[in-house]
C-alpha cells in the first residue's frame, strides 16, 4: 500500500500528543500567518482521512488545489523567513477540502460508483447522532462522522465530515469531547469529471505540511499535474459560470496556475495531450485553448466577450489570503502563466523548469539525437565539449549485471562454487521467483566466494571513467540492482557512489543460507528511484536510467530518459536509445557544474534569461 502503509506510528504519535490540546499547542508554536493552526489541523485530518479511505490500496486518488504542494519541486520565490514550514506548503493557496476520485481497476456505472464511494466513506465516517461513535482518526485523538451527503448532479458528491477531538484516556469510563468539533469536506469527483490523459503521479512530498513525531509522509497517487493545469486553463479561458445571478470568474485558479508554474516540473508531452483531450473544450465547442493564451474577457475584451476585471479581482483575493501576499502583480503573473502555457504547444519543448521559468528542450529528443550522432562514423571528429543535456543536475541510475559489470555476478558466484549448471537450469515465470530459486541452489556455499566476486568484478569499458566524470560535473549517481548488497556495496564504494539499492544475501556462520531478503525487483527499483528523487530534489524528468534486462523495464518507464545498454528484447523495447558502449554517454560529463549547485535560491528568479 505505497504512500499509506503505517502512515501513523500510534505509540510515538500519542506519546508526543496524549491530548488534543497538546497537539494544538505544538501547531501554534510552528504556525505562521501563511500557515496558521487552523490550516495545519485541517491538512492533518484531511491527510489522515484519505489514509483511512486508502487503507486497502491506492484506489482513491487526490486531486484539486489541496495537494498542490505535493507536486512541487521547490518554491522559487521568497518567504521572508516567517516560519519553519517549508515554503512549498506555506506559499500554496489555502484549500481545506479533500478533492478525490475513486479509481478502481474496473469501470463502474455511475450508480455502482456512487454506492462504492458511499460505502467506503461511511465506513471511515459513519452517519451517527453521537459524534463520539464515529470512526477513529489520528491514532484515537479524533472521531469522524458524516453529517451530510450531497450529490451535485452527475459531477460530484460532497460528504460533510465532522471531526470531533476526544479524550480517550479514561479507559472503561468511555470517551468525552476534548475540544470544539470542526468540519472537513470530502468532494468525490465522478468518473465523467476526471480526465485521465496519463497515469497518476506519486506525490513528491507529503500532502501534510507539518512534521510531527510518529507521522510518516502521506504520499498518495495524485491526478497528473498536466491534467490539473489543463482544467485550470479551461476554467480561466472559457466563459465563467454564473453564481447567484452574477458571473463567477475563478480568480483563485490564477493563483494555482502561477503556483504550478513556479514550483512544478511539468512534462510538455503530457501537458500537450491533456490540453488536446480536456473535456471542457469539447463541452464549450472549442478545439483547445486560445493561441496565444488569454483569460476570457481579459482586457481588451473581444466583441463576443464580457470584460472581466481580472486584475482588480485578483488584487482583492490576494489582500484576503496571507499566502498570496508574496505573489507578484497581476501582469507579472500572467506573463509567467502565458510563457508556461504558450510554450506547451511547441513539440520541441520537453520539461517546464519552474526555477528558471522556462521550457527546456526535450531531453528525450536531445539525448536520442546525440546518441544517433555518436553512432555515426563522423562522430569521432565531433567536438567533445558540446553539451548533450540541459545544464542542470541530473540523477543517473545504473543497473549492475551486464551493465556496469560485464558479467552476471550471480553466475560468476555459481561458477566459483561449482554449481553453475544447476543455477542455469532454474527456470521460473518471473524475476523474483527465479532469483530466489537460484539462491536456494547456493545454500552452504562459503561466503568468502561472495567477497571474491565483489573484489574481481570486471567493469564494462568506460563505466568507471563515466561515473567519475558525471560526479565531477555535479550530477548524482546511484545504483539499483537486482543483485546483492555483499557484492553491490563494495562495487559502489569502489566507484564512489553513495546511494545504492540491492537485496540482502543471507549469510550465517560464514556460509550462504540460500535465502535473500529485500530483493530489488522491477518495482523495487522504481521505489528506490522515487526515494532518491525526493531526497535529492531531482524530478523523474531529469533522471536517466541505464540497464539491460527485463527487470529494468519498470525503472525505464519511471524516468525521463531510458538508455538500454546492449539490452535484451524487453529492455530494448522500453528504451529511448540503445547504447553499444558507455562512451556514448561521455558528452554529459563535459558540462560545467550545474547552476543549481551554485546559485542561491533567492536569486534564481533573475536567471530566467539563461540558456541551457
7 lies in the same domain as 133: yes
For residue 513, being part of any structural domain is answered with: yes
The string of pLDDT tens digits covering residues 264-295 is 988 888 899 899 888 888 888 888 888 889 99
**112 and 6 in a common domain:** yes
- Report the mean per-residue pLDDT for the chain: 83
Do 433 and 545 belong to one domain?
Answer: yes
Do residues 438 and 532 both lie within one domain? yes
294-303 CB burial, b ≥16 within 10 A, e <16 = bbbbbeeeee
* Domain match, 12 and 122 both: yes
Please report which helix (H) or strand (E) contains residue 499, including its range.
strand 499-508
Write the pLDDT tens digit of every residue in 154-202: 678 999 999 999 998 876 567 899 999 999 999 999 887 787 788 888 8
**309 and 447 both lie in a single domain:** no
Does residue 602 form part of some domain? no
Q: What is the pLDDT of residue 117?
A: 94
Do 348 and 279 lie in one domain? The reply is: yes
* Band of residue 364 on the pLDDT scale cut at 50, 70, 90: low
In which band, very low, low, confident or very high, does the pLDDT at 374 lie, cut at 50, 70 and 90? very low
Do 525 and 422 sit in the same domain of this protein? Answer: yes
Q: Please, how many CA atoms are within 13 Å of residue 322, restricted to the half-sphere of its CB?
A: 13
Say if residue 107's pLDDT is above 90: no
| pLDDT at position 435 | 87
Looking at the structure of the chain, the number of domains it has is 3
Identify the active-site residue in 399, 485, 552, 554.
399
Give yes or no for residue 55 having a pLDDT over 50.
Answer: yes
Residue 80 domain-assigned (yes or no):
no
Q: Are residues 241 and 322 in the same domain?
A: yes
Tell whether 12 is covered by a domain: yes
The pairs formed by 536-539 with CB atoms below 8 angstroms and a separation of 24 or more are: 536/393, 536/395, 536/476, 537/73, 537/74, 538/393, 538/394, 538/395, 538/476, 539/73, 539/204, 539/265, 539/351
pLDDT digits (tens, 9 = 90+) for 199-232: 888 888 899 999 999 998 899 999 999 999 999 9
Residues 162 and 230 in one domain: no
- Band of the pLDDT at 600, cuts 50, 70, 90? very low
Cell numbers given for 420: 553453475
Evaluate whether residue 377 is within a structural domain.
no
Let me know whether 343 and 438 are in one domain.
Answer: no
Q: Is the pLDDT of residue 95 over 90?
A: no
Q: How high is the pLDDT of residue 78?
A: 60
The pLDDT of residue 382: 42
User: Which domain does 246 fall in, by range?
Assistant: 223-361
User: The domain spanning residue 436 has which CATH number?
Assistant: 3.40.50.1000
Please give the pLDDT value at position 362.
66
Backbone angles phi, psi at 450, to 5 degrees: -65, -45
Bond before 75 cis per omega within 30 degrees: no
> So what's the pLDDT on residue 171?
67
CA pair distance 327, 246, nearest whole angstrom: 27
On whether the CB atoms of residues 520 and 383 are closer than 8 A, the answer is: no
Residue 533: which region, alpha, beta or left (left: phi > 0; alpha: psi -120 to 50)? alpha
Task: Kindly report whether the peptide bond that precedes residue 562 is cis, defined as omega within 30 degrees of 0.
Answer: no
Residue 542 lies in a domain: yes
Asked if 351 and 543 touch (Cβ cutoff 8 Å), the reply is no
Q: Is 48 a catalytic residue?
A: no
Rounded to two decimals, the pTM is 0.64
Q: What is the mean pLDDT of residues 87-114?
A: 87
Q: Is 600 part of any domain?
A: no
| The pLDDT of residue 73 is above 60 | yes
86 is catalytic: no
Determine which one of 187, 401, 552, 554 is catalytic: 401
Residues 569 and 436 in one domain: yes
CA distances (Å), origin 70, targets 102, 171, 260, 327, 443: 19, 38, 11, 19, 45
In a domain, 84, yes or no: no
Amino acid at each position: 500500500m505505497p504512500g499509506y502503509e503505517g502512515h501513523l506510528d500510534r505509540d510515538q504519535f500519542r506519546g508526543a500528543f496524549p491530548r488534543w490540546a497538546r497537539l494544538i499547542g505544538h501547531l501554534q508554536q510552528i504556525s505562521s500567518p501563511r500557515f496558521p493552526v487552523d490550516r495545519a489541523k485541517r491538512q492533518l485530518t484531511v491527510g489522515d482521512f484519505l489514509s483511512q479511505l486508502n487503507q486497502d490500496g491506492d484506489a482513491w486518488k487526490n486531486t484539486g488545489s489541496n495537494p498542490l504542494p505535493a507536486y512541487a519541486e521547490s518554491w522559487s520565490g521568497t518567504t521572508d523567513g516567517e516560519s519553519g514550514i517549508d515554503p512549498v506548503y506555506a506559499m500554496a493557496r489555502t484549500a481545506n477540502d479533500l478533492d478525490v476520485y475513486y479509481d478502481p481497476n474496473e469501470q463502474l456505472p455511475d450508480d455502482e460508483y456512487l454506492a462504492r464511494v458511499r460505502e467506503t466513506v461511511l465506513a471511515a465516517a459513519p452517519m451517527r447522532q453521537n459524534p463520539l461513535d464515529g470512526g477513529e482518526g489520528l491514532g484515537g485523538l479524533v472521531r469522524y462522522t458524516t453529517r451530510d451527503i450531497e450529490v451535485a448532479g452527475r459531477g460530484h458528491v460532497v460528504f460533510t465530515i465532522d471531526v470531533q477531538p476526544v479524550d480517550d484516556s479514561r479507559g472503561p469510563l468511555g470517551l468525552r469531547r476534548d475540544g470544539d468539533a470542526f468540519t472537513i469536506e470530502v468532494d468525490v469527483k465522478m468518473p465523467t469529471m476526471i480526465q485521465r490523459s496519463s497515469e497518476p503521479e506519486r506525490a513528491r512530498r507529503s500532502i501534510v505540511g507539518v512534521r510531527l513525531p510518529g507521522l510518516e509522509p502521506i504520499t498518495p497517487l495524485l491526478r497528473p499535474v498536466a491534467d490539473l493545469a489543463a482544467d485550470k486553463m479551461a476554467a480561466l479561458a472559457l466563459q465563467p459560470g454564473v453564481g447567484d445571478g452574477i458571473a463567477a470568474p475563478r480568480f483563485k485558479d490564477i493563483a494555482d496556475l502561477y503556483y504550478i508554474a513556479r514550483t512544478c516540473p511539468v512534462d510538455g508531452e503530457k501537458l500537450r495531450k491533456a490540453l488536446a483531450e480536456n473535456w471542457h473544450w469539447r463541452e464549450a465547442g472549442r478545439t483547445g485553448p486560445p493561441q496565444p493564451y488569454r483569460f476570457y474577457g481579459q482586457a481588451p475584451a473581444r466583441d463576443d466577450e464580457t470584460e472581466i476585471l481580472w486584475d482588480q479581482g485578483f488584487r482583492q483575493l490576494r489582500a484576503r489570503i496571507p499566502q498570496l501576499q508574496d505573489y507578484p502583480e497581476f501582469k507579472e503573473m500572467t506573463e509567467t502563466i502565458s510563457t508556461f502555457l504558450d510554450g506547451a504547444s511547441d513539440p520541441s519543448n520537453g520539461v517546464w523548469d519552474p526555477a528558471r521559468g522556462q521550457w527546456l528542450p526535450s531531453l528525450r529528443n536531445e539525448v536520442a539525437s546525440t546518441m544517433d550522432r555518436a553512432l555515426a562514423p563522423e562522430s569521432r571528429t565531433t567536438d567533445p565539449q558540446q553539451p548533450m543535456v540541459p545544464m542542470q543536475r541530473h540523477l543517473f541510475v545504473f543497473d549492475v549485471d551486464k551493465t556496469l559489470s560485464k558479467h552476471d555476478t550471480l553466475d560468476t558466484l555459481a561458477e566459483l562454487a561449482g554449481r553453475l549448471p544447476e543455477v542455469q537450469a532454474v527456470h521460473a515465470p518471473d524475476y523474483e521467483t527465479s532469483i530466489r530459486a537460484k539462491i536456494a541452489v547456493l545454500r552452504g556455499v562459503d561466503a568468502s566466494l561472495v567477497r571474491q566476486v565483489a573484489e574481481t568484478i570486471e567493469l564494462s569499458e568506460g563505466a568507471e571513467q563515466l561515473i567519475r566524470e558525471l560526479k565531477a560535473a555535479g550530477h548524482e549517481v546511484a545504483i539499483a540492482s537486482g543483485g546483492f548488497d555483499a557484492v553491490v556495496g563494495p562495487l559502489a564504494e569502489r566507484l564512489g557512489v553513495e546511494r545504492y539499492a540491492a537485496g540482502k544475501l543471507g549469510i550465517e556462520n560464514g556460509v550462504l543460507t540460500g535465502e535473500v531478503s529485500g530483493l530489488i525487483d522491477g518495482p523495487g527499483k522504481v521505489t528506490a528511484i522515487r526515494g532518491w528523487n525526493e531526497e535529492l530534489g531531482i524530478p523523474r524528468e531529469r533522471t536517466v536510467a541505464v540497464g539491460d534486462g527485463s527487470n529494468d523495464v519498470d525503472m525505464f518507464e519511471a524516468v525521463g530518459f531510458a538508455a538500454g545498454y546492449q539490452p535484451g528484447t524487453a529492455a530494448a523495447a522500453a528504451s529511448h536509445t540503445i547504447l553499444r558502449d558507455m562512451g556514448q554517454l561521455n558528452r554529459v560529463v563535459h558540462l560545467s557544474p550545474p547552476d543549481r549547485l551554485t546559485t542561491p535560491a533567492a536569486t534564481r528568479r533573475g536567471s530566467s534569461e539563461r540558456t541551457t
